[in-house]
Amino acid sequence: MSQSAILTNRKPETGAFFQRDREWHPKAFTPGYKTSVLRSPQKALISLDNTLSEITGPVFGHNILGELDNDLIHNYARPGESAIGPRIIVYGRVLDERGRGVPGALVEFWQANAGGRYRHKKEGYQAALDPNFGGCGRTITDEDGGYVFRTIQPGPYPWPNGPNDWRPAHIHFSIFGHGFAQRLITQMYFEGDPLIPLCPIVRTINNPDAVSSLVAALDMNSTTPMDSRAYKFDIVLRGRRQTLFENKREGN
Amino acid sequence: MVQSLNRLKETASQTAGPYVHIGLTPNFAEITGVYGEDLGTSMVNDRTRGERITITGRVIDGADTPLRDCLIEIWQADGDGLYNSPSEMRGSADPNFTGWGRCPASQETGEFRFETVKPGRVPFNDGRLMAPHVTFWIVARGINLGLNTRMYFGDEEKANAEDPVLARLEHKNRIPTLIAQRDGNTYRFDIRLQGDRETIFFDI
Ligand SMILES: [Fe+3]
């Protein structure tokens, strides 16, 4: 089904977005995560009421997707081969703060391989590359905001921050909703990982509930028996203000 | 006790990290054969209307070093001031212009570069016209929540002087941080994360 077919059944949204809760998100300056020290703006952000420039955004049609884009086990693998590691399905919904599914959202994801190694020339970790694993995938949400992809569970990896800092296993997510102001990048963690509370990047977030919302739940009812375990990860984008009553000014 | 508003909280942001290119521009990251072309690489084609321009610049940290691992996305109106978006209710934008671009900074120089058109003017919420501008979103390792700013055009002095967003800024001496200078068909827009000339970032 094409994106436009989804959108024609739904009135285009033109409201401004709810204000971002900047106490809930990580602050810019988080010295425990050392790289943030020189990369965090020091002056106050300037509040800007959403204009058309913020409430609009591009549309990504399903026609951009290849058949294997949401299958990281196979999208980089040689024919007949597959990536090494514990096979998992990651699924969930992209919702807005009003609890409504966001259809047509572009969801992109990237991750290390099962040994915790990224396919990147700047990578400094010695774990082996998997010749059949690239580490990127993408999909577009369905009419209810649902998405699903298949991959291998990434490994944790060490990184140069403290002398012995390890990232918990994680998958990076980029989500493109309907308005440019909804643009979001985050990371998904795995239920039960003991490295989560130790991680300086996780700890850039102060609110424990905000951290919990990044931890995907193991869902043994959505597994594929003798094939894949499943993890559920819902993502919430900013909601839009509803126009309950028109408040038109003279001359508009 | 009161009823719940039943609102969800926005998913908390986490840094894009050093390998954001693997996910968003895999061909640039030398992961080829998965996607045909990196998304957001081309905003225009041969039939795009409007004045062709190049936007280039760097994102510079508090030690005056350009970020060579950041990724920039821009969003802008077409040459007539219309957004190519379903939420655009004023008319149909140029179908040959996406309005959206994505560019990783050069791993050597830190420069980003967009081939685009100069946007037309878009109305502010009270109907007054804003000056032509481009919305920027910057993510990188060390940036915990994507940064939003706007680029205005140095050769639009009259429009800039009456722009409702610029007019509201309290610290007028910071306005130049939002204005790209023209050199031929190229506009240069350096974004400074810290220091005396720290770019204005918006809470949008
Ligand atoms: Fe990572």
Mean pLDDT (10-residue bins), chain A, 252 residues: 46 88 98 98 96 96 95 98 98 97 98 97 91 98 98 97 97 98 98 98 98 98 96 97 70 49
pLDDT at A100: 95
Residue B125 DSSP one-character state: T
Architecture of domain B19-192: Sandwich (2.60)
* CB of A75 closer than 8 Å to CB of A108: no
Q: Which two tokens stand for residue B199?
A: 């770019």
pLDDT at A122: 86
pLDDT at A245: 73
pLDDT at B157: 97
CA terminus-to-terminus distance, chain A = 38
Amino acid identity, position A18? F
User: Strand, coil or helix: what is A173?
Assistant: strand
Residue of B nearest to A180 (CA): B75
Amino acid identity, position A144? D
- List the one residue out of B82, B12, B85 whose CA is nearest residue A14: B85
CA B98, B165, B101 angle in degrees (round to 5)?
20
pLDDT at A243: 73
- List the one residue out of A154, A175, A181 whose CA is nearest residue A54: A181
B104-163, pLDDT tens digit by residue?
999 999 999 999 999 999 999 999 999 999 999 999 999 999 999 999 999 999 999 999
pLDDT at A247: 62
pLDDT at B144: 98
Q: Which two tokens stand for residue A176?
A: 């493109």
* CB of A101 closer than 8 Å to CB of A118: no
pLDDT at A39: 98
Q: Which residues in A14-135 belong to E strands, given as ranges?
A: 46-47, 87-96, 106-110
pLDDT at A182: 98
Element (H, E) at A211: helix A208-212
Q: Which two tokens stand for residue B130?
A: 């804003």
C-beta atoms of A39 and B142 within 8 A: yes
Amino acid identity, position B130? M
pLDDT at A1: 36
- List the one residue out of A70, A48, A49, A86 whose CA is nearest residue A224: A86
Distance, CA A157 to ligand 1 centroid (Å)? Answer: 8
Nearest by CB to A236, which of B6, B8, B16? B8
- List the one residue out of B13, B28, B11, B132 whose CA is nearest residue B72: B28
List Cβ neighbours of A118 (8 Å cut-off, separation of 6 or more): A112, A125, A135, A157, B19, B22
The Cα of B137 is separated from the nearest Cα of chain A by a number of Å equal to 8
Mutate to test the interface with A, among B5, B20, B22, B125 (most CBs of A within 10 A): B22
C-beta atoms of A26 and B148 within 8 A: no
pLDDT at A249: 63
Which one of the listed residues A93, A138, A150, A170 is annotated catalytic?
A170
B1-44, pLDDT tens digit by residue?
899 998 999 999 999 999 999 999 999 999 999 999 999 999 99
pLDDT at A2: 39
Whether A172 is catalytic: yes
* CB of B58 closer than 8 Å to CB of B111: yes
